Structure 1
Amino acid sequence: MSRFNSKAARAQPTSRVTSTGRVLRTYEGGRGRERDARSELFLLAVANFVSQQTFYESGADRDDRFAKLVRRLAVEDPAWTAGLLGWLRGEGNLRTASLVGAAEYVKARLDAGATDGPANRQVVASVLRRPDEPGELLAYWTATYGRSVPKPVKRGIADAVRRLYHGKSLLKYDTASKGYRFGDILNLVHAAPDPDKPWQGELFQYALDRRHHPDTAVPPASNRVLTAHRELMALPVDERRAVVTASGGAERLAAAGMTWEALAGWLQGPMDKAAWEAVIPSMGTMALVRNLRNFDQAGVSDEVAARVAAKISDPAEVARSRQFPFRYLAAYQHAPSLRWSYPLEQALGHSLANVPALPGRTLVLVDRSGSMFYSRLSDRSELNRADAAAIFGTALALRAADADLVEFGTGSNKIKYRRGQSVLKILGRFGDLGGTDTTEAVRRHYKKHDRVLIVTDEQYAFSHHGDPTEQVPANVPVYTWNLAGHRAGHGPSGKANRHTFGGLSDAAFRMVPLLEAARDADWPWAA
């Protein structure tokens, strides 16, 4: 008799986020499952806004837990850790965690005398993707470990400087508010100009002169952006607003690399209608999104507003901005004019392009308990985890072939929606449901679905029925997205169709079809 090799035999999917088998208590006292070190670091990294207070842990406690895990795995598993850090800054688009992680990676390996795995210099360079980030990493290193900066850190930063420094970046990021100016960084790391960029030597010298001799520093004549900017700065204050209102003023501001932030200071007066309309053509997509309220308050014309709307809703621009969907939700909630509603809805739809269109029947459970409302995504964001969870859960339901969308807390309710409805409009049907009883929500709403997806902070209340995942047959996949990054989860992960992912990144969502194709889902940077 054949026991295993039958027509029904299928490979058992696994996820890389795994539990150790040890039972812990969650912050709220519920039973939780401890995760292994790599899973713990992955979940913490993608959900953690460094230095930010959370409902369950102080920013310092989370940062310390993150740093310790990086230091441990940098020595035990350097290739995996280097891959995580590069992915965090690249596809994950999480800059602060990746910068801190790279510094801790190098420190741990230097202390341990480790020489295997990816080079320290390479790891540092891999997380520096924006011109202000060399200074950010240096500031973190010196604040944490003192002014003695090791050679691998200097060399990695020098590699990034050659790649990132140009005229516009100097104007935008080399400001007096920074502890490390471009000139300070060049002095410290001794970056030589890139041989393929013959203009970079003069740029580096100008950056040094700006830092040490600002009154006499003269930009290189070969750099049109810097010379155009110097000409604007030399204009008397009472003549500057005429530049804004003149024909060709927008082009002149753009040629001089004038950002909207710099324009406000240059004018030494209010950002009125003319000022905004002159600088809008050169503003980036997310700068436009952040300033919609300002455009309305200044009375920007409908013609200009139409160009703004077209840009912020353009699929290519949304893809280039690499922003999480909650940015568009926050803009929608705070923009005063209805003329931005539909463009933001379109942008939100484009930003969710990687959410899988799941076949069969899907149960989507969105946590709307009190802890989700108490916890903002960061100290710099007004958007809470409850709304972030709702927007992702709604998108999953709308993309699925057949889905039940449920909000839960102390109790639970089905959210009514129609295919093709606005994601943002559906959000208005979600409420605040008090405590957390994930187990009861699963028990009440699971009706032979093909999969269960839970978006939560995993702080379920104790139930005599067991953890939430035990309410679903073992052959049915349960996927949990943890928004909080707390140590103990509400169920096991990594085998037997139970999978936990951190945060709400597209990379995590893409694991679902991989798992259901009976393939092992690797870490996102190895897939």
Structure 2
Amino acid sequence: MSRFNRSRAAPVSAITAVRGGVTHAGGPGSARDVKSELFVLAVSNMVGEQTFYETSDDRDSRFRTLVGEVAITDPGWLTRMIGWLRNDAGMRSASVVAAAEAVMSRLCASLDGGNRQLIDAALRRADEPGELLAYWTGRYGRGIPKPVKRGVGDAVRRLYDERSLAKYDSGTFRFGDVLELTHPKPASAVQGDLFGHAIDRRHGRDEQLPDSLKVVRARAGLLALPVAERRALFSRPDAVERLRDAGMTWESVAGWLQGPLDARVWEALIPSMGYFALLRNLRNFDQAGVSDEVAERVAERLVSGAEGSRVLPMRYLSAYRAVSSDRWALPLSRALDASLARVPSLSGRTLILVDRSGSMFYSQSARSQLTYADTAAVFGTALALRAKRADLVEFGSTHRRIEVRRGDSVLKTVERFRNLGGTETAAAVRAHYRKHDRVVIVTDEQAWPGHSGGNPAEVVRGNVPVYTWNLVGYRHGHGPSGAANRHTFAGLSDQGFAMIPLLERGRDAPWPF
């Protein structure tokens, strides 16, 4: 009998759940282990935002408790997760909260080592050191422990430059406040001048500007112009360069002009605007009357920069719904397709079920009109369009197929989905599963009880993979996961998309960090 050359066991995945408990809707549930529950919650936790089944206080409390537990047992894993959460998943507030709560948990347990790194892992934009200090002092008071100061200081050395000072020096903890609290050593002489200027500026004694700070000096020159003369700048041939050299964002120009941004102003700003700034201002461009020639250049940038932008797919749907002109429909559709380039092109036959129950129609943030149902529809449609053969189904209390053909627009297809009431997941699988090679369910996993309830994977043969994509992060899922061809993923990231083909090649799918 062969000892080594044997058939390999079925691959395993990171998010583990076993039978036990019930869903919020009362159906049979499966409980995740601590790391799995934390990960699924973290990638969907907007902090301070309620969901259909959880209040914001309950959700945030559960998040802090889970972070505290893992901070004690495996700080290395948690540090990697926080870095991934900030960089790849784009969850800014959740990263800040996780880092702060992890360090507090470890300090309360008298654990040294690694605390500084936890803080640094969460901070990737120049306003975030101040955000973390504001969170810490708001929750734990003005006393700031050394690991927090040092972790913030490490981030400051990476993040503070002239342009970030121009854009982000605001809030309760301004750059000068952060510097005076953490005392980081500057990485260069120019950064040393910047640190000194930021502190002087905070205390109103910044009359003398260091010669080394070119952006600061250029900005001061523009700010010194009388208000009545400022709009004339946009008639000059060097307007684009002067704005760029002074680090003037569209937000700062709006305040500087003390009036509306007309087409001429926008056309001077657009060349130096970042990708996300372009995306969120398409409607403003139309309302100001930006020329077709400039609009074409914006459209080209939206498409060419989509794959590397780290903009979440939902941003394109939000922009699409916000604009009134048709000139953005095609570039937004192409940009969305490019942003989803890592969605796998699945072979064989795939059944894709998109949850359109009432609990999914909850806004992901109070500042957004987009819902979890929107996210599910975008991802399910993209997966269907890229698969070799796919049956796309929306489900709730009832269920129905959504016809898609290769070449269809994701954005336009999404508008055909509806609100279908309850969460009869197992009934939808039973009705549409026809010996497919795999089943993908995009859902919040809060399945109903009853004759059609229960684990939706039970109606699928054990040798057929069932992949659940969790979008909301509740405690209990709708079925076991982690092994035996039953796997759960969370977070719309490149690493997450790569999990399906990895598992189907017989390889384990570890954490994406």
Whether the TM-score (by the shorter chain) exceeds 0.5 is yes
SS for the counterpart of 1:347 is helix
Structure 2 gaps, min length 5: none
Which of the residues 102, 106, 122 maps onto 1:105?
102
Match of 1:179 among 158, 167, 172: 172
The separation in 2 between residues aligned to 1:479 and 1:419, in whole angstroms, is: 23
1:387 Cα deviation from its structure 2 partner: 1.4
Contact 1:125 1:156 in 2 (8 A): yes
Q: Could you give the per-residue CA deviations for residues 71-111 of structure 1, whole angstroms, max 9, x where no partner exists?
A: 11111122211121111112222111111111111111111
- Specify the SS of the correspondent of 2:299: helix
1:143 aligns with 2:134: no
1:123, CA displacement in angstroms? 1.8
Q: What secondary structure does 1:199 align onto?
A: helix
Matching residue's letter, 1:154 = K
- Report how far residue 155 of structure 1 moved: 0.6
Q: Do 1:328 and 1:348's aligned partners in 2 also have CA atoms closer than 8 Å?
A: yes
Do residues 285 (structure 1) and 275 (structure 2) align? yes
Residue 227 of structure 1: aligned partner:
217
The answer for the alignment partner of 1:26 in structure 2 is 23
- In the alignment, the residues of structure 1 paired with residue 296 and residue 142 of structure 2 have an alpha-carbon distance, to the nearest angstrom, of 50
Counterpart Cα distance in 2 of 1:3 and 1:186 = 65
1:64 to 61, 65, 83: 61
| 1:252-308 Cα shifts (integer Å, max 9, x gaps) | 111111100000110111111111111111111110110111111111111111111
Q: Which residue of 2 aligns with 1:337?
A: 325
Name the CA distance, whole Å, in 1 between partners of 2:163 and 2:374.
Answer: 36
Q: Structure 1 residue 6: deviation in Å?
A: 9.3
- Matches for 1:449-460 after TM superposition, within 5 Å: 449-460=436-447
CA distance in 2, matches of 1:257, 1:3: 68
How big is the shift at 1:5? 9.0
- Counterpart in 1 of 2:73? 76
The alignment status of 1:120 with 2:137, answered yes or no, reads no
Match of 2:193 among 190, 202, 205: 202
> Residue 430 of structure 2 aligns to which amino acid in structure 1?
R
How many pairs are equivalent? 512
SS at match of 2:331: helix
3-state secondary structure, aligned to 1:388: helix
TM-score (structure 1 length as normaliser): 0.94
Equivalence for 1:299 = 289
| Residues 200-245 of structure 1, C-alpha deviations (whole Å, 9 max, x = no match) | 111111000110025x433322221111100000011100000022
Partner AA of 1:227 in structure 2:
R
Amino acid at match of 1:191: P
Bigger drift between 428-437 and 482-491 goes to 428-437
Q: Which 4+ runs in 1 deviate beyond 6 A?
A: 2-7
Q: Do structure 1's residue 259 and structure 2's residue 249 form an aligned pair?
A: yes
Deviation at 1:504, TM superposition (A): 2.5
SS of the counterpart of 1:407? strand
- Of 195, 204, 212, the residue aligned with 1:213 is 204
**Pair 1:385-2:372 in alignment:** yes
Aligned mates of 1:393, 1:269 — CA distance in 2: 43
Aligned to 1:313, the other structure's residue is in SS state helix
Question: What's the CA shift for 1:47?
Answer: 1.2
Equivalent residue, structure 1, for 2:312: 324
Counterpart-to-counterpart distance in 1, 2:3 and 2:48: 51
Q: Hey, what does 1:515 align to over in structure 2?
A: 503
1:334, distance to aligned residue in structure 2 (A): 1.1
Deviation at 1:56, TM superposition (A): 1.0
In 2, Cα distance between the equivalents of 1:4 and 1:510? 32
Provide the residue aligned with 1:467 in structure 2: 455
| Deviation at residue 20 of structure 1 after TM alignment | 4.0
The residue matched to 2:189 in structure 1 has which SS? Answer: coil
CA root-mean-square deviation? 1.6
Q: Percent identity?
A: 58
Distance 1:179 1:74 in 2: 28
Letter in 1 for 2:144: V
The CA distance in 2 between the partners of 1:88 and 1:258, in whole Å, is: 29
Distance in 1 (CA, whole Å) between partners of 2:307 and 2:155 is 24
| Cα distance in 1, alignment partners of residues 103 and 503 from structure 2 | 34
Instruction: Give the Cα separation in 2 of the matches to 1:193 and 1:24.
Output: 53
- In structure 2, give the amino acid aligned to 1:204: F
In structure 1, distance between residues paired with 2:384 and 2:390: 5
User: Structure 1 residue 434 and structure 2 residue 421: aligned?
Assistant: yes
**8 Å contact 1:369–1:408 — kept in the other structure?**
yes
Q: Is the 8 A contact 2:18 2:479 kept in 1?
A: no
Output one character per residue of 1:309-347: Cα deviation in whole Å (capped at 9) or x when no partner.
111111xx2233211101001101111111111111111
Deviates more, 1:184-193 or 1:501-510: 501-510
What are the equivalent positions in structure 2 for 1:500-511 lying under 5 Å apart? 500-511=488-499
Tell me which of 11, 14, 23 is aligned to 2:12: 14
Maintained 8 Å contact 1:11/1:519: no
**Which residue type is aligned with residue 302 of structure 2?**
I
- Give the AA of the match of 1:456: T
Alpha-carbon shift at residue 503 of structure 1 (Å): 3.1
**Alpha-carbon distance, 1:129 to partner:** 0.7
Counterpart AA for 1:504: L
CA distance in 2, matches of 1:305, 1:401: 35
Amino acid at match of 1:186: L
1:441 Cα deviation from its structure 2 partner: 0.3
Does residue 165 of structure 1 match 2:160? Answer: yes
1:368 aligns with 2:356: yes
Residues 439 and 463 of structure 1 are in contact (CA less than 8 Å); yes or no, is this contact kept in structure 2? no
TM-score w.r.t. length of structure 2 = 0.97
Is the 1:245–1:278 contact (alpha carbons within 8 Å) kept by the matching residues of 2? no
2:51 to 50, 54, 63: 54
**Structure 1, residues 100-128: CA drift from partner, whole Å, max 9, x if none?**
1111111111111124xx61111211221
AA matched with 1:212: H
Is the 1:92–1:507 Cα contact (8 Å) retained in structure 2? no
| Superimposed CA distance per residue, residues 16-72 of structure 1 (whole angstroms, 9 cap, x where no aligned partner) | 111243x21211111111111010001000111111121111111111101111111
Listed as ranges, the gaps of 5+ residues in structure 1 are: none
Say whether 1:247 aligns with 2:244. no
> Which letter maps to 2:172?
G
Residue 411 of structure 1: how far off its partner (Å): 1.1
Give the whole-Å Cα distance in 1 for the aligned partners of 2:169 and 2:265.
Answer: 23
Distance 2:93 2:478 in 1: 28
